[in-house]
Structure 1
């Protein structure tokens, strides 16, 4: 059995976004060598490494919006190790990738997962 991978540090800009999302948590996931982003115990994103070595965030999204982002940006691909329609992966260190697109993707992923939580859990988040 292999050793768990080291998990990457979450960038300050990501932490800033996550701090504005009520109930959002960063949960290390050493078995995947990643940090997961969760709300109400459900994953809405993950920071990890693509096999190419690129740092990526993989986030949930609307399938049509995801397809448009994949078509528009080289740094956006169908979700690595995830449902290829509902998840996308974004190379966060690609200089051609606008930071605001990655921020919006994180916020959208959070909103999608949050709205799927039971009403009592949503209410407890504030």
Structure 2
């Protein structure tokens, strides 16, 4: 018998051996509209039943407001899978969402150029 976190689903060198979409039961469409810059935060409500380690990890990361994109990076999951997980947590009342607040239009040329410059500096 293997300990939790060991066995055929986890490899020390390769990482997760389970396809990301198995985490969301193959679902790719969230029930809640979420953008990559939408903010989510835990409400303190505990979901009924066990949802899985990714859900628990997401809830832990949502103690303070955090964006969907940031959560996807921390969880090492595709954004589509992360949105489904977060949507499930919103549906059960464990998370609340807040749409992004833009001081400028999200398609403002100066804003997009500033983001591009920041990305170029990171490379």
Identify whether the pair has TM-score above 0.5, normalized to the shorter chain: no
TM-score by length of 1: 0.26
TM-score by length of 2: 0.26
Q: Which has the higher contact order (CA 8 A, sep 6+)?
A: 2
